[in-house]
A = this chain, B = another copy of it.
Amino acid sequence: MEPNFNEKQICILQVAEKLFAEKGFDGTSIRDISKAAKINIAMVSYYFGSKDKMLEALVLFRTDDLAIQIENLLKESLSPLEKMGRLIDFYITRINQNKDIYKIMHFELSSKKRVLNFESFTQVKKRNVASLRQIITEGQDLGIFNLDVNIDLIAPTILGTFFHFQMNRPYYENIFDLHSDEVFENYVKTDLTKHIKRTINALLLYEK
């Protein structure tokens, strides 16, 4: 199951990824993709077998470099609080770079249309939660972090806040006056990231 794609295949996958994220898998035709990628319609079937298999190839292709190496964070000599801050930065940066495939996979995950194999994606998530758990229990053992925390629900809060912001982009563009890609991106990197960090910090540090 080692994805070994050539340049042309990768080019097609990148074009498809962009279109799937913009218009959805069912909203994007092979003709749309071949037009955008400047290839013949037959090339998709030639390289991937079918449109469905191309989606599988795309998921496989992206999941491979989605594995966040937050294991390295654990080894560094930082306080648990500092580690959490770095982890959130890392999470947001990584997901911000890969938001197209995340959007596609979120749709497919909750869709009853196709059955995709998300086993490797699940494994990545479990590994990340394990690292997160290690950081938090470390902080709890030191008496710094609150004991009354549902660790498995912290990732949904971080990622959920981020994605909800992205999905409602037109609304937030409006109320925050973020009328260009650059300004919007900048708001995510500064204010939104700050809000998420503040939220997670408060959750871990606040004693009722």
Binding site for B on A (CB under 8 A): 22-27, 103, 106-107, 109-113, 118, 122, 125-126, 146, 148-150, 152-153, 156-157, 159-172, 174-176, 191-192, 194-196, 198-199, 201-203, 205-206, 208
Specify which chain B residues have a CB less than 8 angstroms from the CB of A162 in the assembled complex. 160
Interface of A is mostly: helix
A111 touches B161 (CB 8 A): no
Q: Indicate whether A111 sits within 8 Å of B150 (C-beta atoms), given known contacts A159-B164, A160-B160, A161-B157.
A: no
Report how many copies the assembly holds: 2
**A–B Cβ pairs within 8 angstroms, 16 of them:** A23-B26, A23-B111, A23-B113, A24-B27, A103-B110, A110-B168, A122-B174, A150-B191, A150-B194, A153-B192, A157-B157, A157-B164, A157-B196, A199-B203, A201-B206, A205-B206
Most buried by B among A27, A126, A162: A27
Q: Are A110 and B23 in contact (CB under 8 A)?
A: no
CA of A168 to CA of B152, assembled, Å: 12
A92 to chain B, nearest CB (A): 13
Contacts of A198 in B (CB 8 A): 148-149, 203
Min CB gap A187→B, angstroms: 10
Given contacts A24-B24, A152-B175, A206-B202, are A160 and B169 in contact (CB under 8 A)? Answer: no
